[in-house]
Amino acid sequence: MKAPLVLFPLVLISIYTNSLFCQAAAESVQPAAVFGVDGKEVRTDLFYYIRPANNRGKDRGGGLGLRSIGNDSCPLVVIQETNELRDGLPLTFSPAVAPKDNVVRVSTDLNIQVAFPDTCNQPTVWRVDVSDKSKGRKFVNLGGVIGNPGPETLGNWFKIEKVGDHGNKYKLVYCPTVCSYCKVNCKNLGIVYQNGLRRLALSHRPFKVIFTQA
């Protein structure tokens, strides 16, 4: 009868060790990091420009910035610069779940915020908005908020996805998973021409991008 008593602590130790191993393994399984053109991981505590990965054809131009619509100076919408030499405006990325290592990862919900003072009395966080109801287009404007994931902020969340096997090229996607019961029509973010502007909008054709540190 002594053998079972001796084995009992060993069984508990084995169970505890296996539990710690499984927990560590689960924590280590996470999406791949997003990399900039310099080969370094894109971080939440730094500023970046989003530029076209393929600077030819319809994607030819500069980085993503802001412009006003029509003759008014406000509000501002997200556009691609027409001049290839213009980087656009610096941006920051804020994941729904703040990473301990400050690394931005693919396939994760995140807010994208323009890093410049608010000159139009409007939030500088990207948000999907219905701006052209006549054609059913959904453009990316400003007006979102940082954090508070849920149905009320569904339009504020974007993802970065890898494109191809070579090089640090990506695409931006609207496919939020911050609301488990919300129905979302997932689409790429692409460039749509409207009134002389290259506006960022939901599109079947992705706008392939690279990230350069500001």
For 46, 53, 87, 162, the CA distances from 206, given in Å and listed in that order, are: 25, 11, 19, 12
47-60: buried (b, 16+ CB within 10 Å) or exposed (e) per residue? bbbbbbbeeeeebe
Block residue for tokens 């296996």: 18
Query: What does the block give as tokens for 141?
Result: 């404007």
Of 51-65, 104-118, 125-139, give the lowest mean pLDDT range. Answer: 125-139
Every domain of the chain and the residues it spans = 1-30, 31-213
**pLDDT score recorded for residue 160:** 99
Question: What six digits make up the tokens of 210?
Answer: 């690279």
Mean of pLDDT values over 49-53: 98
Confidence grade of residue 28 (pLDDT, cut at 50, 70, 90): low
Q: Which stretch of 18-32, 74-88, 95-109 has the lowest confidence by average pLDDT? A: 18-32
Residues 113/158, Cβ–Cβ less than 8 Å: no
- What is the pLDDT at residue 79? 97
In this predicted model, what pLDDT tens digit does every residue of 60-82 receive, in sequence order?
899 999 999 878 888 899 999 99
Hey, what CATH class is 31-213 in? Answer: mainly beta
pLDDT in tens, 167-203: 899 999 999 999 999 999 999 999 999 989 999 999 9
Total-model pTM: 0.84
**DSSP readout, 169-210?**
-EEEEE---S-TT-----EEEEEEEETTEEEEEEESS--EEE
Q: Checking DSSP bridges between strand 125-132 and strand 137-144, what pairing results, if any?
A: antiparallel
